[in-house]
Chain A
């Protein structure tokens, strides 16, 4: 994928989440990592890139195509993407199976049988076959996040956008979920990943966008970024995260 942003502004009330963010990923990237301190704009940029949030200013292009501002068009664009959130955000009144199958039927035009089959295929692949009939509250955090990944992957999204997918998980469950993401990346799934797991990002990402205070401070190939971060902010951020790892 190729991602480009020019002067992107996004406000929430008086808070300026993105304050003229500008970057472009050089050439084709498989996995783009959004890094930076909390409150720096990672989550907002991820939502903007996935067409989940409209911008208040600026232009965003994915593979050279400008993202639409009008809601109906944006929804069409959004439906090509899959989202995974920090808090899983499964539908609590539906079983794991229905969480995956419902959007397939209602949004992507699958027949009931085909939706069920595709949902089971994904749940099986993510190790949740035995839990298909359970509601989210009956699953562990790691299982919930894997079910959320199944829901996002089921319609074969062009981009899989993940917003700190392991930040609410303990180390063991974090390991489970990161393993899944690594496999997806190796199979060629295009991923945009906002994360604080710097060593994981270093392993899977091929491009890094580093944000702080609503601006893109650095946008570089992953190897270059981790070997020779140019900005003071990025060096400080990486240093503080690496100290105990």
Chain B
């Protein structure tokens, strides 16, 4: 009585040992990769000038904040667009299905750069929308949303006919079937793909510099040309993106675990 079940005993003993091994491997990899990078830069004979770059730290930080804001806004837009296009592609009306299918194909099949240039300099100007940040958030959200639509569609269609029949059998109507049966199960299946798309979105936001938005990449370009540096701008730039994208991936993994159940 009162003893710990056998499998838990094993877990308690095993987890620190595994964790310890992970730390050792991680440290080993870190040292190895650092040495390789060190050797590479030594062979280039790059002259570092961190002091000049440091002068522009406030600008850099501003750019980073704007990138965060744009990414957050575009994520919201992309989720709405993705759900809308997914629903449209499953709509009972042929015209809606074809329209949404066409939007998905065109948006996914053309470069974001072209969409931004046409969207901002032609479409937005005609519609008298002049704030590049607003246009940028909408266009980036549309672009990523087209990808999300396909991720969502795959997830929804993977919920089998027997689940739909069970939902009908307990008396659910179409809306209740989606809300209580299909979406909760589809959400879990869509999570990995969605998280990957969100990471892409953060990085794709760098293209918004072409419509004159001084987000992080644009700020770094300005910094580099003003202080005659290159890597002193670009290395912190890479780190600044990782600071956002790594926690995003970890958060998605945590969500996946939370929604995990056998089927």
Contacts and interface: CB of A to CB of B under 8 A. Distances in A.
The residue in B165, B171, B184 that gathers the most chain A C-beta atoms within 10 A of its C-beta is: B171
B7 to A, nearest CB: 15
Interface in B147-185: 162-163, 165-173, 176, 180-181, 184-185
B261 interface: yes
B170 A151 contact: yes
Given A90-B166, A92-B185, A107 B172 contact: yes
Contacts of B169: 50, 52, 78, 83, 85, 89
A92 B263 contact: yes
Closest 10 pairs between A and B when the two form their complex, measured CB to CB: A137-B262, A89-B166, A83-B169, A79-B171, A103-B170, A107-B171, A92-B263, A89-B162, A93-B184, A135-B261
The residue in B168, B173, B188 that gathers the most chain A C-beta atoms within 10 A of its C-beta is: B168
Contact of A93 (B165, B171, B185): B185
Interface of A: 50, 52, 75, 78-79, 83, 85, 87, 89-93, 102-103, 106-108, 135, 137-138, 151
20 contacts: A52-B165, A52-B168, A75-B171, A78-B168, A78-B169, A83-B169, A83-B170, A85-B165, A85-B166, A87-B162, A89-B162, A90-B166, A91-B185, A92-B185, A92-B262, A93-B259, A93-B261, A102-B170, A107-B171, A138-B262
A87 B167 CA distance: 14
Interface of B: 162-163, 165-173, 176, 180-181, 184-185, 188, 259, 261-263
A54 to B, nearest CB: 11
Contacts of A79: 171
Given A85-B162, A89-B165, A91-B163, A103 B185 contact: no
Nearest to B185: A93
A107 B170 contact: yes
Contact of B261 (A50, A78, A92, A103): A92
Nearest to A161: B169
A91 B263 contact: no
Given A52-B165, A91-B181, 11 more contacts: A52-B169, A78-B171, A83-B166, A85-B165, A85-B169, A89-B162, A89-B165, A89-B166, A92-B185, A92-B262, A138-B262
Contacts of A135: 261-262
A120 B181 CA distance: 21
Contacts of B173: 75
Given A89-B162, A137-B262, A102 B180 contact: yes
Nearest to A79: B171
Contacts of A85: 162, 165-166, 169
Contacts of A102: 170, 180
Contacts of A138: 262
A106 B172 contact: yes
Contacts of B181: 91
A137 B263 contact: yes
B106 to A, nearest CB: 33
A89 B172 CA distance: 14
The residue in B166, B170, B176 that gathers the most chain A C-beta atoms within 10 A of its C-beta is: B170
A153 B167 CA distance: 15
A92 B189 CA distance: 13
Contacts of B261: 92-93, 135, 137
Contacts of A90: 166
B158 to A, nearest CB: 13
A107 B170 CA distance: 8
